[in-house]
Amino acid sequence: MLNAGISSNRLLNSTWNPNALTRLDRDVLTATGVCSVIVMLGINDIGGQPQHHEPSKIIAALGQIAAQVKAKGLRVTAGTLTPFGGSGNYTDELEGVRQAVNDFIRDGGVFDAVADFDVALRDPTMPSRLRAEYDSGDHLHPKDAGYQAMAAVVALDKLDTRPPGHWVGTWQTAMARTTPGTDRGMPNHSIRNVVHTSVGGDTARVRLSNALGTAPVLMGRATLAVAARPDAPHAVAGTMRELTFGGTPSVTIPAGGEALSDPISMTVPADGDLLVTVYTPAPSGPVTEHPRSYQTSFVAADGDHAADEEGTAFTQPTTAWRYVTAVDVRSSSAHGTVVTFGDSITDGDRSTISGNLRWPDVLADRLAAEPGPTKLGVVNSGISGNRILNSSTGTGIGGPNAFARLSRDMLTTSGARTVIMLEGVNDILNLPHPDPEALKLALRQIAAQAHAQGLRIVVGTITPMKGWRSYTEEREAVRQAVNEFIRTSVDFDAVIDFDAVVRDPADPQRINPSYDSGDHLHPSDAGYRAMAEAIDLGTLR
């Protein structure tokens, strides 16, 4: 039993501590051995400052928590909000909000079970107040007897089983920064993201992100369709689907949070392209994005075009993915996900734009071509410029450090079974005197966290960098030391010697000219293919 409660915590605001949606991955979904979650949140949104007099936002946030818990294959029980009549901030209007939220919890059909803490503790003669024998004295918090009464109404038989159904990731990206020049968001814009699938399915859902935003963002409409071409904003006729979030077509995502759409019936092609379009009607904070996608997406600056099958309104091309962070599918043939986690070499820097020739793309093609009925999805959580130990901030492209983004970009990926990690070159190239021992310890720690979630972890050796502008012999010695550790460590389930695959036999500190994109750090399309073809597929299952 794990207690992830925080005094004064809220669903919608991070006034005193991170809001619930922001901390859900770190504090709940990645807990070791978790199989069921009991959530009781909302009273501080109602009675604290700022007060929320409209129950719909609290209800939507609770629905999002339920969706994200279920997406992890866990059961979720919701507790009704207990009385607070007599406390300092109580008003009849706020009591009406509490009652509306409780009605949703009891009757909304969103949760696997309900623990009616309200009924257990309220005074039968004055239901807006706690029973005197359960009141600690502040008319808000129970005393010991009250907490015992709450525990007694939890249905224990609902806590030890997992709900049916299995989701896998077909596409994913890691959010790295906020878009320069978007301090007010992108009001009245439609953003059409083109994303490439790895496995197909007959049901889909989409995860939207405001992870790096500083203010809530309203998604007025969101849609999913099959793309007619990988480099154009047009949808295949008849494939456009409107997404809902807890049954409603719009959703407000708090700063630092994410939103998961309801499942929709849709034939998602394997090794195909989808259009994920969002319409943002109102100003917000800076836009959360993944730059350097090496995929052309599109923007319409004149209103809501999210449901347009013809893409003629989308006149502004972009190579950033904005707000969308994952697409999951449910399929009888897909049974797990391989998460590729790293920096620009995993992100596919300098690969052919819209060609889907990054090494994770080629790996997905290899897995799809394997004989047999079961398939693995492959998702890409690489960020150009990413480092293990240090973060970029604001509009810097490198994103949060590997530790800071581990929960969001690796450990909570739908259906994750195996992680392939290739990271460390930016730590070596950007620190004046990089410490190989710090990188070794960090790799051990990341492996331990992956293993704690039941994941296999495969680590790649760091590829050559001689000829890059910040190359020195001292930095090369660090790379060699880290690679020797990777090759000989017992902390990993397997090793891929990417260094040996792409280095020049005549000058092993350099990339083979046949695999060099031209900057002496990033592979070409041929180099990425060689990396993918060097992976032993048996280590991924």
Q: List, for residues 96-109, the tens digit of each pLDDT value.
A: 999 999 999 999 99
Query: Most distant CA pair in the chain: distance in Å?
Result: 87
What does the DSSP assignment read for 195-242?
EE-SS-EEEEEEEEE-TT-SS-EEE-EEEEEEBSSTTSSPBPTT--EE
Q: Given its phi and psi angles, is residue 144 left (phi above 0), alpha (psi -120 to 50 degrees) or beta?
A: alpha
Which pair of tokens denotes residue 77?
């029980």
The residue type at 291 = P
Backbone angles phi, psi at 422, to 5 degrees: -135, 100
| Closest CA relative to residue 127, chosen from 89, 101, 98 | 98
Backbone angles phi, psi at 430, to 5 degrees: -110, -5
Backbone angles phi, psi at 260, to 5 degrees: -110, 125
Note the pLDDT tens digit of each residue in 494-532: 999 999 999 999 999 999 999 999 999 999 999 999 999
> Which parts of the chain sit beneath pLDDT 50?
none
Provide the pLDDT for residue 165: 60
The DSSP 8-state label assigned to residue 514 in this structure reads G
Give the whole-angstrom CA distance, residue 368 versus residue 373.
10
In degrees, rounded to 5, the angle at the alpha carbon of residue 319 between the alpha carbons of residues 346 and 322 is 90
Give the whole-angstrom CA distance, residue 370 versus residue 376.
10
| Closest CA relative to residue 142, chosen from 123, 155, 159 | 123
pTM of the model: 0.89
Instruction: Find out whether 276 and 195 touch, Cβ atoms under 8 Å.
Output: yes
**Mean of all residue pLDDT scores within the chain:** 95
Give the whole-angstrom CA distance, residue 420 versus residue 417.
10
List of domains in the chain: 20-158 (3.40.50.1110), 167-330 (2.60.120), 333-541 (3.40.50.1110)
Provide the pLDDT for residue 54: 86
The distance in angstroms from the start CA to the end CA of the chain is 30
Give the whole-angstrom CA distance, residue 436 versus residue 480.
9
Instruction: Find out whether 83 and 129 touch, Cβ atoms under 8 Å.
Output: yes
Instruction: Find out whether 234 and 310 touch, Cβ atoms under 8 Å.
Output: yes
Give the whole-angstrom CA distance, residue 381 versus residue 342.
7
| Closest CA relative to residue 358, chosen from 185, 240, 522 | 522
Provide the pLDDT for residue 163: 56
Alpha helices in 454-524 (DSSP H): 473-488, 498-502
Secondary-structure breakdown of the chain: helix, strand, coil percentages, each rounded to the nearest 5: 30, 25, 45
| Closest CA relative to residue 56, chosen from 48, 47, 46, 66 | 46
Provide the pLDDT for residue 162: 56
Which pair of tokens denotes residue 368?
């799809």
Which pair of tokens denotes residue 6?
């925080």
| Closest CA relative to residue 511, chosen from 462, 475, 478 | 462
CB proximity list for 531: less than 8 A, separation 6 or greater: 359, 362, 460, 496, 498, 501, 502, 523
HSE-up of 530 (CA within 13 Å, CB side)? 20
Q: Given its phi and psi angles, is residue 209 left (phi above 0), alpha (psi -120 to 50 degrees) or beta?
A: beta
E strand or H helix that includes residue 529: helix 525-533
Give the whole-angstrom CA distance, residue 214 versus residue 202.
36
By residue count, the chain amounts to 541
Give the whole-angstrom CA distance, residue 110 versus residue 249.
16
Identify any residues that bridge with 511 across adjacent strands, giving them in sequence order.
503
HSE-up of 280 (CA within 13 Å, CB side)? 28
Backbone angles phi, psi at 539, to 5 degrees: -80, -10
Instruction: Find out whether 381 and 341 touch, Cβ atoms under 8 Å.
Output: yes
